[in-house]
Amino acid sequence: MIVVSLMVALAPVWLGARATPVDEPSITVHGAAGQVSGSNSILEIGGKKWVIDCGTFMPEVGDTAAAREAWANTNSSTVPEDELDADGVFLTHAHIDHIGRVPLLVREGYRGPIYATEGTIQLAAPMLLSNARYDEASKRNWMWSSSAASAGKNYITGHWMAGCQSANSISPKNATTFTGTVTELTEQISRGGPRKSVSPCRACAELEVAGVIKQMKAVKEGKSFTLPGGMTATPYSAGHIPGSCSWLLETKAKKGKKGKRGAPDEVDTPAIRILFSGDLGWDGSTLIEGPEPAPPVDVVLIETTYGCSNRTKPVDEGMAEFRKAVSDTIAEGGIAWIPSFALDRTQKVLHQLRIAQREGLIRENVPIFVPSPSARAVTEVYERNSKKGWFRDLWAKDKTNLRPPGYEDSEEAFDDWMTRQSPAILVSTGGLLDVAFGGGSMRPLLDNPKVTVFLVGYQDPFSPGGQMADSVTKGESTAGKTIRTPDGKTVDIKVQTKRLGGFSAHGRANEIDAWLANQDKETCRVLLVHGESQALKDRQKCLEDQGWKHVMVPERAKPVELVPQSKTSAAAAAAPATASAGADGVGTPRALGSDDCVQQRWR
């Protein structure tokens, strides 16, 4: 957690000449401080409170898979209490580690606006739907039918939304309730009998997500709007995934007023420009354009996923290697299994497979299975918006980039193919054997020596994919290895494994440096978040070696204070006019003045 205090640069304030107190705005980082996941920050300024992202934590801390999973679930099971009465929430993009706890925030009582781009809102719907059904972290008020539970089935359908028709059709005498997590409910219904599983109700998930989406307010990239209390917010394209943005939040200097009739005094608000980067992309993506350099600011929170590392090879070279490797597997009568995140990674993989078809590397009659419901829903969002400027023109004009010849997303067709496992390409969920679709049905593939697994993204070190990646790193074949599955069992595998890069949507150090080009290294305060501990420390040193004077890696719950400058910083002096929008959302230029910069005190 980071607390940032600001004070106005007027001597009379320090001398006590004014009756009104000085506002002490603060930023509190509740997630992605010293870790990668769980992005969540609070900005308090001018008597208002604003939340930036509210994401799910992923397994990051612990020496075993169970310990890491427990850490993630514990951290993902709550939201900070002081966020429930926030004046607004800003979302940077639709990845679950940035939006996964928003339904929990709403479930706990938050009723304010949630600001996001149209792209993020559309993509949030399928991502949150999947997360709601497979959320093992948060406690819910469950209800199920006791008669259904005793009917010999090995599972029950768990309901948690009052508006669910199926839940309301359960007779009062059969309605059974329990408050807890999915895991706790599973233990509850399995006591004294055979073990049963819980299938979270899809209708309940849809109702919950619909309620969250209803609270979202669409904003346009590059268009500023004024918030209650006078703060201005502007979303700038982050170039990470469709709809991703960095949020610029800025205030004008404002003198508080003396409270009347015993009312508390208003506070003085200093002028300050704070930028939350969210996840940043780069201009080498085949789907979307990278971000423009950020506008000059006083404080910037920057993602540090890849630390100081830069790309070791041109992306085109990496993509060509991927296409050739997949085609070689198919030509040898094998199966190419490509675990990919449902959002953006799957769509990039499909594009590369289409290029391989055009190059004659892969025949168009080779089946390409995409059985993940989440990936299918995301692809449909991409298709609906292909001509709305979300994507690069050459990519958007050809519908087969998303659905190459041979594309099949029917679960029935996939199940039928699994009975014979003929040469094909399988693009599945990113976790290889996740609890979501594919965990059980895909396990037989690990026993097929004709299967090659292509790891094109991050795999937790303790996951099946992570264990296989470790073997590849050591130069060992995975065929004949024993791995441990998410349910704690061991499996002897016969598959080959390859690791191929180039698909990441994150910018590397030099690309983020270019994004920072407009900042003044002497005055701009840099807070590094969203990175592994060593990557954060390395990045801090790299930036300091480049001449940045004020760089820090904030710790959770550690305060950081800002002190005003007595003169205009170079950043503010060079800043272009920004658009300030009124109630109609139409922006008018506003030039920055000499009070628009502050200085930070680190402790």
More confident residue, 433 or 517: 517
Determine which helix (DSSP H) or strand (DSSP E) holds 250, and give its type and residue range: strand 245-251
Instruction: Band the pLDDT of 467: cuts 50, 70, 90.
Output: very high
Q: Specify the pLDDT at position 16.
A: 27
Q: Contact 142/181 with Cβ under 8 angstroms?
A: no
Q: Where are the alpha helices (DSSP H) in 100-258?
A: 102-107, 118-133, 146-149, 165-168, 182-190, 202-214
Question: Is the pLDDT score of 138 beyond 90?
Answer: no
- Count other Cβ atoms within 10 Å, centred on residue 265: 14
Q: Among 227, 217, 218, which Cα is nearest to 250's?
A: 227
pLDDT in tens, 500-555: 988 999 999 999 999 999 999 999 999 999 999 999 999 999 999 999 999 989 88
Q: Specify the pLDDT at position 262.
A: 65
Q: Among 562, 555, 520, which Cα is nearest to 537's?
A: 555
Q: Among 275, 255, 229, 311, which Cα is nearest to 47's?
A: 229
Q: Specify the pLDDT at position 561.
A: 67
pLDDT in tens, 45-94: 888 999 999 999 999 999 888 899 999 999 999 999 999 999 999 999 99
For residue 150, the SS3 value is coil
More confident residue, 57 or 580: 57
Instruction: Band the pLDDT of 281: cuts 50, 70, 90.
Output: very high
Q: Among 294, 248, 304, which Cα is nearest to 52's?
A: 248
pLDDT in tens, 210-254: 999 999 999 999 999 999 988 999 999 999 999 999 999 998 877
More confident residue, 215 or 577: 215
More confident residue, 573 or 151: 151
Question: Is the pLDDT score of 483 beyond 50?
Answer: yes
Q: Specify the pLDDT at position 584.
A: 30
Query: What does the pLDDT average to over 568-580?
Result: 37
Q: Specify the pLDDT at position 522.
A: 94
Percentage of the chain beyond pLDDT 90 is 63
More confident residue, 209 or 269: 209
Q: Specify the pLDDT at position 117.
A: 98
What residue ranges define each of the domains in the chain, with the CATH number in brackets?
2-113+215-308+507-562 (3.60.15.10), 140-211 (no CATH), 315-499 (3.40.50.10890)
Instruction: Band the pLDDT of 304: cuts 50, 70, 90.
Output: very high
Least confident of 110-114, 257-261, 359-363: 257-261
Question: Is the pLDDT score of 573 beyond 90?
Answer: no
Q: Specify the pLDDT at position 590.
A: 27
DSSP per position, 315-361:
HHHHHHHHHHHHHHHHHTT-EEEEE--TTTHHHHHHHHHHHHHHTTS
Instruction: Band the pLDDT of 269: cuts 50, 70, 90.
Output: low
pLDDT in tens, 318-366: 999 999 999 999 999 999 999 999 999 999 999 999 999 999 999 999 9
Q: Specify the pLDDT at position 393.
A: 84
Instruction: Band the pLDDT of 566: cuts 50, 70, 90.
Output: very low
